[in-house]
Chain A
Amino acid sequence: MSAADAPQDAVRDGRMAPASTLGVLATLRRAAQVSPELLEGLTLTLALAVVAAAARVLVPVAVQQTVDTAILAPGGADVTRAAALVGIAAVGLAVGAACSALVNVRLFRSSEAGLLTLRTRAFRHVHDLSVLTQNTERRGSLVSRVTSDVDTISMFVQWGGIMLLVSVLQILVATTLMAVYSWQLTLLVWACFVPLLVVLPRMQRGVNRRYAAVRERYGAMLGAVSEAVVGAETIRAYGVAARTQRRIDGAVAATRRAMVRAQNLVAVVFSSGVLVANLVLAVVVVAGTWLGVAGDLTVGRVLAFLFLVQLFTGPVQMATEILNELQNAISGWRRVLGVLETPVDVAEPGDDAVPSPRGPAALTFQHVGYAYPGGPPVLQDVDLQVAAGTSVAVVGATGSGKTTLAKLVARFMDPTTGAVLLDGVDLRRVASTDLRRRVVLVPQEGFLFDGTLTQNIAYGLRDEAAALGPDLPPHVEARVAQVVEELGLDAWVAELPAGMSTSVGQRGELLSAGERQLVALARARLADGDLLLLDEATSAVDPVAEVRIARALRELARGRTTLTIAHRLSTAEAADLVVVVHAGRVVEVGTHTELVARGEHYASMHAAWVSQTR
């Protein structure tokens, strides 16, 4: 989806749209567009539903026919005729039941297919969004958009959808039959429901708002729970379980309140349907009797009509109920569609894309400035030339903007002013497949998947091994083993309980921070980019291992460009070029020797470092 067809109000400084603002019908239309499977085979399903609905009037008709023509038959009860009538009705009922079973199955299949598409597209879109936008929404809440919000829709489409269909058809059938008996009373019955039709949409909007509040509270509650689960260690160490529980309890109570509020209104809407349905009986009694007195109706017809009215009001009540459920589904839909409507602020280049072939990468910063949305500038007027094959160390105090520099090169966001160029091409014009192939970032806290060491490192192969299962193909295992050896990590792996098959746990929590960094480095090495961005990627690794890795990387990265955010100046000593960042500006650029000789920022940092390490 492009940003162009998103409503204007969803575009708010790169934030995730909480929910789509489309109306009910527009939401449904949009939903059908996103998942066209929903409408597949609908004609046949509708035809089957008509048969199923028609079968619903069989019983009252059979009762009336049997009583009138068999039991009250002239000459005493006619058992044979009754048996025939009952037999025909039974066959009809069986056909009707078969049809509704078929309708159910068909709706299940199409709705689940449609929701699969919706789920997957929303999931994909979350990954397509910029890192900044992703960070505006809690992870737990994002998860609920592709899980429970979709489940809400699924519940509705499966149950409500079927019942709505059948109910509407039944209303039509009942109306036709009623009209056969008395068109005046039929008009009257419909007229009784007019006030409901006027009030209902307004109430439905209220229901809708309240269900939206439920979904929102629910998302917030999952967010609170996820914090308690992910932050379990901190909570335990600080003994703040009670406070965390208080917060969760608050979120749980808020969800409960929102649910009760929504259900109360639903109760009012539903019972007003019951009220009108039964008041209609009173109206029919009074009006029918009058019409009868006036000579327009017979007793039999009035009584038959009373029976038919119930055939009519039943589905009407059912329909109001389902419309309530629809509101719940609509708010689920809106939240999922809200994801799809959120524009990608780091957009793919269009026709002006410039191919970026593999090979040594040169990097240029042209007057680059950056400020996070609503924040002060983090980088200002950065100009930098990095020739292909150079190793660059970026040094500076924490918070000086070093990491932002790396993120701009990885195009996690675009500079607010100026441009970052790769081989002379503005990153905004490089297709992301090219960019990701060529630029590889290793952050300080790399993410590890819950799997084995081999699986995590093999992830660096990206799509080449897209079908990675529990059993990796031998050539993949061999490449992983080779990388581990190249980086000199084999001794460490040998110490692990199951070597390369050791499970790393969720987020790699079974490993120490330093070990996680080793895995992330091996993974990045396997990813084999032209430009390697190392953002304090070895900060938690022991000195011996770090030195060994740095040396190995230098060997392997010959001819490639590396940009290292350095926390230890040993990296800077070895780099071709040292860049000193201070308060968002590049203040010094040169080789280690040059900068030490210059005797300014870098020289004093280096002197301090040397005094600490030796």
Chain B
Amino acid sequence: MPARPRPSDDPQRPTAPAARSALRGSTARRSVGLIWRGLRAHPRTYAAAIGTSALFGGLTVVVSRVLGAVTDQVVVPALAGSTEAQGRIWLAGLAVALVALLLALTVAARRVLAGIGVADIQADHRRAVTRQYLRLPMSWHRRHPTGQLLSNAGSDVEAATGVFNPLPFALGVVVMIVAAAVALLRTDVWLALAALVVLPLAVVANLVFQRRMTPAITRAQQLRAEVADVAHESFEAAALVKSLGTEDREEERFSDRARELRQANVRVGVVRAVFDPVIDLLPNLGTLLVLLVGVHRVAAGAIGTGDVVAAAYLLTLLAVPVRAFGWVLGELPRGLVGHDRISRVLDAGEVPVDGATPWAATTPGAGVRMRDVRLSVPTAEGEVELLRGIDLDVAPGRTLAVVGPTGSGKSTLVGLVPRLVDPTAGVVELDGTDVRELRPADLAAQVGYVSQSTFVFEDTVRGNVTLADPGDEGAPGDDEVWAALAAARVDDVVRALPDGLDAPLGERGANLSGGQRQRLALARALVRRPRVLVLDDATSAVDPRVERAILTGLRSDDDATGPTVLLVAYRMASVLLADEVVHVEAGRVVDRGTHAELLARDPGYRELATAYERESQRRVREQADEEATDVWDDEVTAGGPR
């Protein structure tokens, strides 16, 4: 499929809440913000990680000191023939070994802690992002491709946290750099200047790097998400691809994107390929500079040979922390891009406000009312009105059939009741209260909704019906589940499964037929004993006889004690089960009344209701004509018996 126009950033509300996720300000400020937020989220882990890292920095200096002391006090005298020093060799070895052990321990501790820190921050991000997915309305979901959302929770989180891997090391060894700088300054100012000139150069190199890297990384992360997107869509379409034999085309589509990703990755790589050797080169050049300046200072008699060697050694020690900073800085552009992509989800300002009014289940059915309900959706082509002023009143316990041509807004209309969307104007009321004011838990408990296309979770049959874990408060018991399955006429199918209620249903319920999936979804709604049942063409794949049994079963207890039912249907059998019918066309109510009334006075409805009948009659007529023609043909051509 060709490149789709991607929705740009979500419109952000001007007055955003204080706890926004997006980082603002200059790149430097955003970088500091990114790091600071991570550290603040897990202060103890990072305090310990940076502490052990500082300890490591200190111990590295100690190793060099111990080596120096051992050389001066043991090695040199021993080789000079001191037997006392020769006796101390073992002691010297032991001292070095002891420091080595401590060093290794700090390394292990730092790495363990750094690992925990990164894992924790990743888990934080993933929890936050997925929470937001579950909060955001359907209108938002429809605008955002699945692959994109998967990559927000996957690779973008990894990108945003990559910087935290080398961070404790880099921060901890600041101690080392400061100690080294102080030691150098105390030796000789010129020598110190020669050595430390490396640091501003490193900063400049990093700035140049950042500027080149950020756009390259942004592009690469975007393409990574697009590759995931194409793969996801294409794999979801696997059956279509197979049946049309368009594997080559899909491969082309995927490899186009993958090729672009390769180019973007190579572009990122080239920038890094140059940056890394430069960052490695700087401390080495610093050492050479120290040598040069050192020779001058020795010649001037300002310092001794040992001072030059010590300064050179310190700089080689500094090479590692400077590189660690390079790693942090190298990861920052990617981290900021990843963070921005996550923030776009977290800051999406469309989270519907939850109502707080409790809704008590007083009667078996609830009253449903819509007052001048309008719904417009923004599209690339401008605002489109899907519902154009709907007024509707359904008394508790009544069944209303919603009938109309394909695409007339029936699904949108009934979707307002479970709040899949909120109207742009007008009010939807349940028992006289605006649905937006009702507590979501009450709404979900008392409104059962079965959609056209059933979504089956990768779970057991029981889990798919109850949508709860065993032992959850208010989770229906097995008896209730079986009762709901029986009411939906799918109990025999489940009974035939090897594990019954515990039988796992594959991803998206792949091992059930379309009709079985629909009936399972019906059971899912029925087990909740809803007071309003919304069936959006939910029985289309169910055999007519089964459907009738299910629908009459709902009302069998006693006519008026069942739930209020809103029913989108094409079958006249289903429609006939309704007390009343509303005929919808192009987002408006055309007429409302009993089936018989509409049949008598509404021509559009009559056409829908009698389509099959008329078709059968037409066919009978046609057949009669054909036979007549055949007879005529036979007579004319005097052909033999056919």
Contact = CB atoms under 8 A, between A and B. Distances in A.
A443 B239 contact: yes
Interface string A183-225: 0000000000000000000000000000000000010011101
A292 B309 contact: no
B344 interface: no
Given A267-B111, A288-B75, A449-B233, A229 B149 contact: yes
Contacts of B543: 397-398, 567
A469 B145 contact: no
Interface string B199-217: 0000000000000000000
A367 to B, nearest CB: 23
Nearest to B90: A286
Contact of B405 (A138, A248, A542, A547): A542
Given A289-B89, A613-B571, A93 B285 contact: yes
A230 B455 contact: yes
A612 interface: yes
A140 B90 CA distance: 60
Interface string A568-605: 10100110000000000000000000000000000001
Nearest to A280: B100
Given A104-B272, A497-B381, A450 B1 contact: yes
B29 interface: no
B284 to A, nearest CB: 5
B308 A445 contact: no
A366 interface: no
B359 interface: no
Interface in A239-292: 239-241, 243-246, 248-249, 252-253, 255-256, 259-260, 263-264, 266-268, 270-272, 274-275, 277-279, 281-283, 285-286, 288-290, 292
B197 interface: no
Contacts of B99: 278
Among B384, B541, B546, max chain A CB count under 10 A is at B541
Contact of B542 (A283, A398, A436): A398
A100 B233 contact: no
A85 B294 CA distance: 13
B635 interface: no
B287 interface: yes
A31 B487 CA distance: 55
Nearest to A544: B611
B501 interface: no
B418 interface: yes
Nearest to B497: A375
Contacts of A72: 305
B608 A543 contact: yes
Among B92, B151, B254, B384, max chain A CB count under 10 A is at B254
A550 B235 CA distance: 30
Q: For the side of the interface on A, what is the size category?
A: 35 or more
A86 B452 contact: no
A85 B261 CA distance: 45
Among A126, A223, A612, max chain B CB count under 10 A is at A612
Given A281-B100, A286-B90, A232 B138 contact: yes
Nearest to B83: A293
A77 B293 CA distance: 12
B1 A116 contact: no
A509 interface: yes
B242 interface: yes
Contacts of B71: 303, 306
A412 B252 CA distance: 22
Contacts of A131: 238-239, 242
A289 B96 contact: no
A459 interface: yes
Contacts of B147: 143
B606 to A, nearest CB: 10
A263 B115 contact: yes
B78 A289 contact: yes
A84 B146 CA distance: 63
Contacts of A445: 453, 514
B612 A299 contact: no
Contact of A139 (B232, B298, B614): B232
A353 to B, nearest CB: 15
A109 interface: yes
Given A229-B146, A289-B74, A462 B249 contact: yes
Given A72-B305, A274-B103, A62 B288 contact: yes
A293 B237 contact: no
Given A444-B514, A466-B249, A259 B457 contact: no
B240 interface: yes
Contacts of B572: 612-614
B2 A451 contact: yes
Contact of B123 (A97, A252, A302): A252
B612 A568 contact: yes
B270 interface: yes
B240 A281 contact: no
Contact of B443 (A239, A246, A492, A495): A239
Contacts of B449: 237-238
A164 interface: no
A218 B292 contact: no
Interface stretch (A168-176, A354-362, A498-506): A498-506
Nearest to A260: B119
A129 to B, nearest CB: 8
A302 B77 CA distance: 13
Contact of B228 (A97, A147, A468, A501): A147
Contacts of A323: none
A70 interface: yes
Given A264-B115, A544-B608, A120 B107 contact: no
B458 A138 contact: yes
Given A399-B516, A450-B233, A536-B514, A108 B270 contact: yes
B469 interface: yes
A525 B158 CA distance: 45
Contacts of A440: 243-244
Given A127-B234, A510-B142, A512-B452, A462 B130 contact: no
A277 to B, nearest CB: 8
B2 A86 contact: no
Contacts of A123: 231, 234, 250-251, 254-255, 258
Contacts of B410: 512
A509 B245 CA distance: 24
A154 interface: yes
Contact of A270 (B107, B122, B576): B107
Given A93-B281, A240-B467, A440-B244, 5 more contacts: A83-B292, A143-B147, A147-B151, A278-B103, A463-B248
14 contacts: A86-B289, A124-B251, A139-B507, A143-B231, A226-B232, A229-B149, A239-B441, A285-B96, A398-B515, A449-B233, A463-B249, A492-B406, A512-B406, A513-B540
Which 8 A-B residue pairs are closest in the complex by CB-CB distance? A239-B444, A436-B245, A398-B515, A263-B115, A278-B100, A104-B273, A108-B269, A612-B573
